Chains A and B, each alone.
Chain A
Amino acid sequence: DQQVKQNSPSLSVQEGRISILNCDYTNSMFDYFLWYKKYPAEGPTFLISISSIKDKNEDGRFTVFLNKSAKHLSLHIVPSQPGDSAVYFCAASGGGGSNYKLTFGKGTLLTVNP
């Protein structure tokens, strides 16, 4: 049972345009959400996070939006740059107790074309 879903395996955008990566979750106990970027042969790199008490968090070119009622979050990258080309993973944690593991989606490969 996949609790975090990234339904688009890949996305291609032009340099300078907006990239929107989507993520859906099913577990209503999740209360912290993160986006990671992964280049080939490297470990995932933390990008941005949002707690469930917020609906938006911005960091430079990256903005994450959370819609709790829809159990949906999205990552916006504006403007997109060729160096942003990577696999993006959505992750969630929560559930109380000592359950701090991250549950990951399967990732979306973003390609930014010059």
Chain B
Amino acid sequence: DSGVTQTPKHLITATGQRVTLRCSPRSGDLSVYWYQQSLDQGLQFLIQYYNGEERAKGNILERFSAQQFPDLHSELNLSSLELGDSALYFCASSVDAGGYNEQFFGPGTRLTVL
């Protein structure tokens, strides 16, 4: 158990809908990262937050947005969903924004768009 929790575990929805994925980092970790794992793309970095502020952006679509709240939990919002958004979404956390510390991953949310 990494100490990072993600809810829900599974999500099935229809195209055009909007969903919210939730992540609670390990106690004491200030940074939260979101990754997408689809079948043929491997793990792709989406976005990073550090202590409530956006720190880095990766291959995140404009239809997707995220935020980190004062209690440090984070939410990833996916809107106007398309079939291709079906994937595993992982949240990870680390102590600070520094590169020299490992990220701890949650169990993931499996999103299926029908």
Contact = CB atoms under 8 A, between A and B. Distances in A.
B19 interface: no
B19 to A, nearest CB: 19
A79 interface: no
Contact of A44 (B6, B31, B94, B105): B105
Contacts of A102: 33, 35, 43, 45, 92, 103
B107 A103 contact: no
A100 B90 contact: no
Contact of A107 (B42, B44, B92, B98): B42
Interface of B: 2, 4, 6, 31, 33, 35, 42-45, 48, 50, 55-56, 58, 90, 92, 94, 97-100, 102-108
Given A101-B48, A102-B43, 12 more contacts: A34-B102, A43-B90, A43-B92, A43-B105, A44-B43, A44-B105, A98-B48, A99-B99, A100-B56, A102-B35, A102-B45, A102-B92
B108 A43 contact: yes
B102 A100 contact: no
Interface stretch (A19-27, A45-53, A61-69, A70-78): A45-53
Interface in A94-114: 94, 98-107
A49 B103 CA distance: 11
B107 A89 contact: no
A49 B94 CA distance: 14
Contact of A43 (B55, B94, B107): B107
Nearest to A89: B43
Nearest to B104: A46
23 contacts: A36-B105, A42-B107, A43-B2, A43-B4, A43-B6, A45-B2, A45-B105, A46-B104, A89-B42, A91-B43, A93-B99, A98-B48, A98-B50, A99-B56, A100-B31, A100-B48, A100-B94, A100-B98, A101-B48, A101-B56, A102-B33, A102-B43, A103-B45
A26 to B, nearest CB: 15
Contacts of A34: 102
A31 interface: yes
